[in-house]
Structure 1
């Protein structure tokens, strides 16, 4: 039986089990509303989830190597992923528990209302922040240091070509991968954070100005933003950075990248700030402030900005993710953060050859996945926190 036919038969079998199970539970429970009103799609989802969990448990306990001694990289990576998720859940629960016990009354209340996903996101962000701030103290070697030993296998076992001095091995030119991963948090995350701040300063300021003054200024800024937003941001960034590379190089190109991405992403911030500002400037307290003779600066920073904080904070988290992924993508293409600075996007590209070792050295094959995983983990963590912030700002009850 072909793979497609197997999938179809399995889905049909799951559907039959879901229908029979729902019918049986209706009879057993005396047609309770929970089962009487349950749609077939929900029952199908429950059965499908149970089947996937069972398959996952079965696959988790498969042997890591076959009879010929060839390691099963898929099983090994799956075990690492499951163990990582479980460790993350436990760490998030402990972090939330400690937050409920330690701190001010306000912070303890915040942790009591916090879901486990938000706790996990905040914990990850704190860990990344510590790595970024204290990278020089945490990293065992410098990000620019080149050693004589190149392509050292991760694991630190000399019998397998490793070195205890380099737990994650070295890259093609002899740089310590662990140190560059740590410095990547400082460079990739730090530059993305600075870029997002600049984008919010530009977009937020112009958006509030357009909402407050309106008239010809609003029309000019809005039409200019419409033109910039009509061009795909990644392609536009790549084009402008390629043009900028003709005049600057090295660290200067990194600065040019920051400014280009900040200006392009400020258009999205402008649209949000203008929309929120338009809803605020028609309020009675804005009219009262104008009648008192308050200036433009007072209106923006004392009246409009405090009432626009919640949506702007949520947008800041989302915009940071987009900027972070854009910088990583540009670095992967070779026009982002420039050497000798360590960057996760560049590391994914440079270390991709290690994936060929998956059949006999899964740890070595996981090296490029570490940088990619660091990018994905931070993106997921920030989105968890942003979702929680949006939930709180929407006025919904826990």
Structure 2
């Protein structure tokens, strides 16, 4: 298994390897970054605000004199894990509904398809703002809201795949054998959807990162004392005229994470090899 994975990585084009390196970099920082933070995340350690990089503060200080490096290391944890958790929940929920819809067919398929089309037609950020205003913005609620918003998008893709597979001969043979709906979904249809669904999971991850960062920039995302990368951009917006690292670094972190994920997704698509 590890040999096959190493071979696949070697066969990736350069952009895919760059994307993989960026994604792994931010994943490692999300897991171990807080332990490497040189200062407590909320400690006021600099008498100056928006100071530049130096030997004491590698990435300078923010608008309150806190260490930017420590803030970014902690913020990356919330950005990566909230986005990853929401993306996985969205794909799990959307794919489960799509399999149920495709196998049952008839009015069940019609009702679910129309309901998901209705939800999918709503602008994601506006929908998120309404839900956050109604239910609040705790970490758990943000995770569930972000997952709920992107279930319809995954459902549409998974349903299109499942509908095509359900019509295949091997599925009809399974039905003729008397296999139940769960067996057909789990063992006949789902294994043939894995590759496209992996790519879609990556896309959902990117969408959720941008959604959560946008909400945090508006002050409706991750709330103090927690902070994600979007929050770090918002709270240091006054440092933009002086090009303070406190605002540039988290903005570049969001950009590198999303660009890296997109490059990796593109490399994982069929035909994505060099």
Interval containing the TM-score (normalised by the shorter chain): over 0.9
1:345 maps to 230
2:79 maps to 188
Contact map agreement 2:216 2:230 (CA 8 A) in 1: yes
The runs of 5 or more residues in structure 2 that have no matched partner are none
Q: Is 1:138 the counterpart of 2:29 in the alignment?
A: no
Q: Is 1:168 the counterpart of 2:59 in the alignment?
A: yes
Quick one: distance in 2 between partners of 1:155 and 1:109? 40
Quick one: distance in 1 between partners of 2:251 and 2:150? 23
TM-superposed deviation, 1:148: 6.5
- TM-score, normalization by structure 1: 0.65
Question: CA RMSD, aligned part only?
Answer: 1.9
Question: For 1:80-139, what per-residue CA distance to the aligned partner results, in whole angstroms no more than 9, with x for missing partners?
Answer: xxxxxxxxxxxxxxxxxxxxxxx9542342233211100101111111111011123211
Quick one: distance in 2 between partners of 1:196 and 1:323? 7
2:221 maps to 336
- TM-score, normalization by structure 2: 0.93
TM-superposed deviation, 1:337: 1.1
1:53 maps to none
Moved more, 309-318 or 170-179: 170-179
After TM superposition, list the pairs within 5 Å mapping 1:209-288 onto structure 2.
209-245=100-136, 253-288=138-173
2:17 maps to 119
Contact map agreement 1:228 1:267 (CA 8 A) in 2: yes
Question: For 1:236-287, what per-residue CA distance to the aligned partner results, in whole angstroms no more than 9, with x for missing partners?
Answer: 1011101223xxxxxx622212211211100001111111000000111111
Contact map agreement 2:34 2:70 (CA 8 A) in 1: no
Other structure's SS at 1:391 match: coil
2:178 maps to 293
Quick one: distance in 2 between partners of 1:301 and 1:145? 50
Contact map agreement 2:52 2:245 (CA 8 A) in 1: no
Question: For 1:294-351, what per-residue CA distance to the aligned partner results, in whole angstroms no more than 9, with x for missing partners?
Answer: 2222111111111001111111111111111000000000001111112111111111
1:306 maps to 191
Contact map agreement 1:286 1:299 (CA 8 A) in 2: yes
Quick one: distance in 2 between partners of 1:129 and 1:373? 16
Question: For 1:5-50, what per-residue CA distance to the aligned partner results, in whole angstroms no more than 9, with x for missing partners?
Answer: xxxxxxxxxxxxxxxxxxxxxxxxxxxxxxxxxxxxxxxxxxxxxx
Question: For 1:50-72, what per-residue CA distance to the aligned partner results, in whole angstroms no more than 9, with x for missing partners?
Answer: xxxxxxxxxxxxxxxxxxxxxxx
Greater relative contact order (Cα < 8 A, sep 6+): 2
